[in-house]
């Protein structure tokens, strides 16, 4: 396997921290043991945890006002995969990449697949893009795509999605994520029922072309780019569309795509109860944004979401939704943000394993509100960092990914080897 961070360098970096880690780990083992948890079984599950990296996340993002490019940014999908391989090598929690087409469209899919294989990277869900016009395209998406009032525009968007599925098959992907910007900016601009009907017809056509072992994931978003209404605005619309379309059509929950203060963990529970929770885009948000680093604003919410997922898995061990990060990094080095965020999601997952579920059920059944919430807090307040560090160490990653990455000078090397394209402007979002 090709590794871009020198293995000896990585080991040396780890060696300096290993004895401190061992003593922290043993102390935590003793503490967890007192509450009836075996640390090695938690460690084994932490090692299994995986979340996909979005290919679009390794470039520096931007806002509506400007983009301030970072140094040594990847200029094509191969360089993006190089960066993804570094994220995986150091964090050991991100073995897959989620591609966005046409941004990442390869000339030769086979070549791309082999390029990923040298790093032991695989491809997660494929993302189609009908929220932007592409050069040479006949119909414009200015007024929508899969839900457009014009059949020609809808057909073009359907054909694009089918092409993405065909490409994904060649790359070994097993899912298509569909997010559309369709919606309206003014009351009266669109007929709600008609545009939803068009959307349903379109996704059914895409669904019918899916291979048997694929899933289709519908991503809803409350607003933006449409500011009055969006066609798939909320989990209700998403559920209805998924239910209408077919068994392998599921809802995807992007943490940033809800109204402020919405109880996302309850949405998770509702969708799962009715067999329609297919996947996640992890990120965080404070106001109406949807792209901050996972766990950076509300880590308790992330924990509560995983608390639901672990509860669901305790009843159905085969349940395995798609996990992806979906963030835009404007002021940090994207590689650092993605490594850190993957670990934050993994942390929420590990803490959810440490909830005393029997006690929680008893408190719920006896209506002991104080002890029910305290049971969740008991797990949430634990410092489980030694488990994450040990998982990374034993899998060949870095005890401290960000520190190791900085010491490796990877970004500085990229800065030399990847001269920026002078024709690219500094404006616009990802
Ligand atoms: C935009 C959307 C959505 C989607 C992503 C990739 O808000 O989160 O997943 O683009 O298509 O950020
Ligand atoms: Mn998303
Ligand atoms: Mn988003």
Tens digits of pLDDT across the chain (430 residues):
999 999 999 999 999 999 999 999 999 999 999 999 999 999 999 999 999 999 999 999 999 899 999 999 999 999 999 999 999 999 999 999 999 999 999 999 999 999 999 999 999 999 999 999 999 999 999 999 999 999 999 999 999 999 999 999 999 999 999 999 999 999 999 999 999 999 999 999 999 999 999 999 999 999 999 999 999 999 999 999 999 999 999 999 999 999 999 999 999 999 999 999 999 999 999 999 999 999 999 999 999 999 999 999 999 999 999 999 999 999 999 999 999 999 999 999 999 999 999 999 999 999 999 999 999 999 999 999 999 999 999 999 999 999 999 999 999 999 999 998 776 655 555 6
Whether 290 lines ligand 1, by a CB cut-off of 6 Å, is yes
Of 194, 134, 138, 184, the closest CA to residue 164 belongs to 134
End-to-end alpha carbon distance in the chain: 31
Whether 221 lines ligand 1, by a CB cut-off of 6 Å, is yes
- Beta carbons of 229 and 238 less than 8 angstroms apart: no
User: What are the strands of the beta sheet with 175-178, ordered from one edge?
Assistant: 126-127, 175-178, 215-219, 249-254, 277-282, 322-325
Q: How far apart are the CA of 179 and the centre of ligand 1, in A?
A: 7
Specify the CATH superfamily of domain 50-356: Divalent-metal-dependent TIM barrel enzymes (3.20.20.150)
Q: How far apart are the CA of 363 and the centre of ligand 2, in A?
A: 36
Q: What per-residue confidence (pLDDT) applies to 396?
A: 98
Q: What per-residue confidence (pLDDT) applies to 425?
A: 54
3-state secondary structure of 401: helix
Q: Which helix (H) or strand (E) holds 335?
A: helix 334-353
Pocket test for ligand 1, best of 176, 178, 179, 284 (most atoms within 8 A of CB): 179
By CB atoms closer than 10 A (0-12, 13-18, 19+), residue 406 is middle
Atom number of ligand 1 nearest to Cα 291? 12
Q: How far apart are the CA of 316 and the centre of ligand 1, in A?
A: 30
**Domain chopping of the chain, boundaries:** 50-356
Q: How far apart are the CA of 84 and the centre of ligand 1, in A?
A: 19
> What pairs with residue 176 in β-bridges?
126, 216
Model confidence pTM above 0.95: yes
Q: How far apart are the CA of 127 and the centre of ligand 2, in A?
A: 10
Buried b (16+ CB within 10 A) or exposed e, 242-262: beebeebbbbbbbbbbbeeee
Q: What per-residue confidence (pLDDT) applies to 95?
A: 98
State yes or no: cis peptide before 102, omega within 30 of 0: yes
Count H helices, E strands: the chain?
Answer: 15, 11
Q: What per-residue confidence (pLDDT) applies to 36?
A: 97
Atom number of ligand 1 nearest to Cα 181? 2
Whether 179 lines ligand 1, by a CB cut-off of 6 Å, is yes
* Degrees, nearest 5: CA angle 251-256-257: 50
Tokens of 245: 């379309």
Tokens of 36: 């009836």
Nearest residue (CA) to ligand 1, atom 1: 179
> What pairs with residue 281 in β-bridges?
254, 324
Q: Which ligand is nearest to the CA of 177?
A: 1
| Alpha-helix residue ranges (DSSP H) falling in 274-400 | 299-315, 334-353, 357-365, 369-380, 385-395
Q: How far apart are the CA of 373 and the centre of ligand 1, in A?
A: 33
**Dist. CA 183–CA 85, nearest whole Å:** 37
């Amino acid at each position: 396997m090709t590794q871009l961070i020198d293995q000896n360098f990585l080991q040396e970096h780890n060696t300096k921290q290993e004895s401190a880690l061992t003593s922290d780990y043993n102390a935590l083992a003793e503490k967890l043991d007192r509450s009836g948890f075996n640390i090695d079984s938690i460690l084994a599950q932490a090692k299994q945890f995986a979340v996909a990296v979005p290919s679009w996340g390794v470039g520096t993002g931007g806002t509506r006002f400007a983009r301030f490019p970072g140094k040594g940014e990847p200029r094509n999908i191969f360089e993006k995969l190089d960066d993804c391989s570094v994220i995986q090598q150091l964090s050991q929690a991100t073995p897959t990449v989620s591609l966005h087409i046409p941004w990442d469209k390869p000339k030769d899919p086979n070549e791309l697949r082999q390029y990923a294989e040298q790093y032991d990277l695989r491809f997660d869900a494929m993302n189609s893009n009908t929220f932007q016009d592409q050069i040479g395209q006949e119909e414009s998406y200015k007024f929508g795509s899969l839900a457009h009032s014009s059949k020609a525009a809808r057909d073009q968007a359907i054909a694009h999605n089918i092409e993405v599925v065909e490409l994904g098959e060649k790359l070994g992907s097993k899912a298509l994520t569909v997010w559309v910007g369709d919606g309206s900016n003014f009351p009266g601009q669109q007929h709600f029922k008609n545009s939803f009907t068009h959307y349903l017809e379109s996704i059914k056509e895409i669904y019918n072309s899916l291979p048997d072992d694929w899933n289709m994931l519908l991503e809803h978003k409350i607003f933006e780019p449409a500011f009055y209404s969006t066609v798939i605005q909320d989990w209700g619309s998403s559920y209805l569309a998924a239910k209408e379309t077919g068994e392998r059509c599921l809802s995807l929950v992007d943490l940033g795509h809800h109204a402020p203060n919405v109880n996302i963990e309850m949405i998770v529970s509702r969708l799962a109860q009715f067999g329609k929770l297919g996947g996640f885009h992890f990120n965080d948000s404070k106001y109406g944004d949807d792209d901050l680093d996972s766990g950076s604003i509300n880590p308790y919410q992330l924990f509560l979401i995983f608390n639901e997922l672990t509860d669901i898995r305790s009843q159905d061990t085969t349940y395995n939704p798609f996990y992806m990060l979906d963030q835009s990094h404007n002021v940090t080095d994207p590689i650092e943000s993605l490594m850190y965020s993957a670990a934050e999601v993994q942390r929420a997952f590990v803490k959810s394993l440490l909830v005393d579920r029997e006690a929680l059920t008893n408190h719920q059944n006896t209506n002991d509100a104080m002890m029910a919430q305290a049971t969740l807090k008991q797990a949430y307040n634990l410092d489980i960092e030694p488990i994450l560090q040990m998982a990374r160490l034993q899998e060949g990653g870095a005890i401290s990914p960000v520190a190791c990455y900085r010491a490796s000078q990877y970004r500085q090397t990229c800065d030399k080897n990847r001269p920026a394209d002078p024709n690219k402007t500094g404006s616009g979002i990802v």
